[in-house]
Structure 1
Amino acid sequence: MRAPTPKEPVPEDLDPAADPYAVHAALRAKGPVHRVHVPGSGDSWLVVTHEAVRRALTDPRLRNDIRHSATWGTDGGHAIGRNMLQSDPPQHTRLRRLVAGHFAPGRIAGLRPRIEDIARELLAELPGQGTADLVGGYALPLPVTVICEVLGVPAADRTAFHTWSNELVMPTGEEDAAASAGALAGYLTDLTAEKARTPDGSLLAALATATDDASAGPAPEPGSTAGGLTPEELLGTAFLLLVAGHETTVNLISATLHSLLAHPDQLARLRADPSLVDGTIEESLRYNSPVHAGAFRFAAEGLDLAGTRVDAGDAVLVSLAAASRDPLAFPDPDRFDITRRPRGHLGFGHGLHHCLGAPLARAEAVIALRLLLDRYPSLAFATDPTTLTWRTSTLLRGLRELPLRLG
Structure 2
Amino acid sequence: MTTAPPRRLDPAAHAADPHPILHAMRAQEPVYRHVEPATGRVFWYLTRYDDVRRALADPLLGRQIDRLPPESAARHRAWDRDPLPMVRRSVVNLDPPDHTRLRRLLAPAFTARAVAALEPRIERHVADLVERMNGHEETDLIQELALPLPTLIMAELLAIPRRDLPLLRRWSDGMLRGRDRRHGMEYIAYLQRTLTERRAHPGDDLMSQLIEGDLSRAELLSSVFQLLLAGDETTANAIGNGLLALLRHPGQAARLRAGPELIDAAVEEMLRFDGPVGHARPLYALADVDIGGTTIPRGDTVLPMLVAANRDPEVFERPDAFDVARAPNRHLGFGHGIHFCPGAALARVQLRAVVRALFRRHPGITLSAADLEWTPDLFVRGVRRLPVRLCTHIDGVARPTYGRAILDVKGSSPEKEVERHDLRREGSVAHGRNSDRFRGAGIGAGIQRPFPRGSGHAGVAQGQDSRRAAGGAGALHRRLDHPRGDAAELRAGHALRLRPLVRVGKGPLAGLRGRRRGPPTLMGLPARHMAGRYST
Fold shared per TM-score above 0.5: yes
1:406 aligns with 2:413: no
Aligned counterpart for 1:116 among listed residues 98, 106, 123:
123
1:202 aligns with 2:205: yes
CA RMSD, Structure 1 to Structure 2 (Å): 2.2
Q: Would the aligned equivalents of 1:53 and 1:320 in 2 still touch at CA under 8 Å? A: yes
SS of aligned partner of 1:388: coil
> What are the residue-to-residue correspondences of 1:194-343 with 2, within 5 Å?
194-210=197-213, 228-343=214-329
SS of aligned partner of 2:86: coil
SS of aligned partner of 2:85: coil
Residue aligning to 1:221? none
SS of aligned partner of 2:375: strand
Structure 1 runs not aligned, ≥5 long? 1-6, 211-227
Residue aligning to 1:72? 76
SS of aligned partner of 2:32: strand
Aligned counterpart for 1:389 among listed residues 345, 350, 373:
373
Residue aligning to 2:19? 21
Q: Would the aligned equivalents of 2:309 and 2:332 in 1 still touch at CA under 8 Å? A: yes
Deviations 1:356-378 (CA, angstroms, capped at 9, x unpaired): 00000000000011011111121
Residue aligning to 1:161? 168
Letter in 2 for 1:390: W
Deviations 1:111-139 (CA, angstroms, capped at 9, x unpaired): 01110111111111112351111110111
Letter in 2 for 1:79: P
SS of aligned partner of 1:132: strand
SS of aligned partner of 1:72: helix
Letter in 1 for 2:372: L
Q: How many angstroms does 1:80 deviate by?
A: 3.3
Which sits farther off after the overlay, 102-111 or 393-402?
393-402
Distance 1:125 1:195 in 2: 32
TM-score, normalisation: structure 2: 0.67
Distance 1:165 1:31 in 2: 36
SS of aligned partner of 2:218: helix
Distance 2:299 2:10 in 1: 33
1:60 aligns with 2:59: yes
Of all paired residues, the percent bearing the same amino acid is: 39
Instruction: Give the aligned length.
Output: 378
- Higher helix share goes to which structure? 1
Distance 1:36 1:287 in 2: 26
Distance 1:241 1:135 in 2: 20
Residue aligning to 1:10? 7
Give the 3 Å change call, closer, same or farther, for CA 38–128 of structure 1 in structure 2. farther
SS of aligned partner of 1:29: helix
Q: Which has the larger radius of gyration?
A: 2
Following TM superposition, where does structure 1 have runs of at least 4 consecutive aligned residues deviating by more than 3 angstroms? Answer: 11-15, 36-43, 72-75, 166-170
Q: Would the aligned equivalents of 1:80 and 1:239 in 2 still touch at CA under 8 Å? A: no
Q: Would the aligned equivalents of 2:306 and 2:335 in 1 still touch at CA under 8 Å? A: yes
SS of aligned partner of 1:391: coil
Letter in 2 for 1:398: G
Distance 1:266 1:235 in 2: 43
> What are the residue-to-residue correspondences of 1:128-167 with 2, within 5 Å?
128-167=135-174
